[in-house]
């Protein structure tokens, strides 16, 4: 499949990239080769292949969400540079 310089310019504009004339020629050839390879992939028979999300099936190990011991409020607030009873005082973020 042939890619024109105009198509490269359009893609570059969408990606907000500045490309030189030489780069347009280079990218047109590279994109054409990518699309040719995609056409080859269309020839691979995939009707009997189950869809997958990962090449290797992995299970995510989960643990029970069990509350544990925590620090006492006084100990938690002891290192705070600024505090108001049981709350941290932080700079305002806009």
- The mean predicted confidence, pLDDT, of the chain is 88
**Can you give the pLDDT at residue 74?**
83
Query: Do 50 and 25 form a contact (C-beta atoms < 8 A)?
Result: no
**pTM of the predicted model as reported, rounded to 2 decimal places:** 0.48
Is pLDDT above 80 for 55?
no
* 85 assigned to some structural domain: no
The token duo for 30 is 């590279």
* 26 assigned to some structural domain: yes
Share of the chain above pLDDT 70, in %: 100
**Can you give the pLDDT at residue 26?**
93
Is pLDDT above 80 for 92?
yes
Element of type H or E holding 88: strand 87-88
* 36 assigned to some structural domain: yes
Phi, psi of 84 (to 5 degrees): -135, 100
Q: Please state the domain count of the chain.
A: 1
**Can you give the pLDDT at residue 36?**
93
Q: Write out the residue range of the structural domain in which residue 12 sits.
A: 5-42
Element of type H or E holding 31: helix 21-42
| CATH code of the domain containing 15 | 1.10.20
């Amino acid at each position: 499949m042939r890619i024109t310089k105009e198509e490269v310019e359009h893609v570059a504009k969408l990606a907000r990239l500045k490309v030189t004339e030489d780069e347009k020629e280079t990218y047109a050839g590279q994109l054409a080769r990518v699309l040719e390879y995609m056409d080859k992939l269309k020839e691979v028979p995939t009707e009997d292949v189950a869809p997958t999300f990962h090449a290797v099936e992995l299970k995510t190990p989960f643990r029970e969400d069990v509350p544990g011991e925590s620090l006492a409020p006084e100990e938690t607030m002891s290192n705070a540079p600024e505090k108001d009873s049981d709350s941290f005082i932080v700079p305002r973020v806009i």
